[in-house]
Amino acid sequence: MLVVGNAGPISAFLLVDRVELLFSIFPQVHIPGKVREELRQADFMADVLRMEREGKILTVNLADEEKAAAQGIVCEIETANPERHLGEAEAMMLCEKLHADLLLLDEEPARRVASSRGLRIVGSLGILLENVRRGNVTARELKEIIDLMMCQGVRISESLKDDVINKAYMMEKER
């Protein structure tokens, strides 16, 4: 499965020191140069370099015309603060360029645009649920990880958190 990632989900797992949960589901993630830069700016460069050496992250630089097209996508996401969404837009462009199977993306405005472009999306919480389904973590551990993500500044609404936790407990009962 060819997967393209945005900084949000990767950062969320790095923030709580559980990036192995991401790679247990998706052994290799392609990222555009702008996402790599965003991860560097968030002080995750040592992690990125390690993951690149391990072959878990592959950075793909977009051509100039693809970067220009990403600028147009940014305006679809948000016109007030477009620079904030350049990594997401480049990830969408890379997903289309590579004909990727899946895009890792958390923020709702960007998810709406990606969905309208026909891209298949999963976010941090979906990755956590898949880890529960596979028996990698329990529902209780999922709750603790989400709480820790939220403490580290990852924005998750309480209602979404509750829905995901309930789904995780239901998954455990079905096993």
CATH code for the domain defined by 3-122: 3.40.50.1010
Q: Is 30 helix (H, G, I), strand (E, B) or coil?
A: strand
Q: What are the domain boundaries of the chain?
A: 3-122, 125-174
- 175 has a pLDDT exceeding 90: no
Average pLDDT over residues 76-95: 88
pLDDT at residue 83, rounded to an integer:
78
Residue 155 has pLDDT above 80, yes or no: yes
Q: In what order do the strands lie in the sheet with 121-122?
A: 57-60, 29-32, 3-5, 102-104, 121-122
Separation of CA 69 from chain center: 21
How confident is the model over 147-158, as a mean pLDDT? 96
Q: For 1-5, 84-88, 97-101, which range has the lowest pLDDT when averaged over its residues?
A: 84-88
CA gap 20, 41 in Å, rounded: 21
Q: Could you tell me what percent of the chain has a pLDDT over 90?
A: 91
- Please return the burial class of 133, using the count of CB atoms within 10 Å of its CB with bins 0-12, 13-18 and 19+: middle
Residue 68 has pLDDT above 80, yes or no: yes
pLDDT of residue 84: 82
pLDDT value, residue 81: 73
Which tokens hold the place of 139?
């529902």
Lowest pLDDT segment from 29-38, 73-82, 83-92, 149-158: 73-82
Q: Given a cut of 90, is residue 13 above it in pLDDT?
A: yes
pLDDT band at residue 171 using 50, 70 and 90 as cut-offs: very high
- Predicted pLDDT at 174: 86
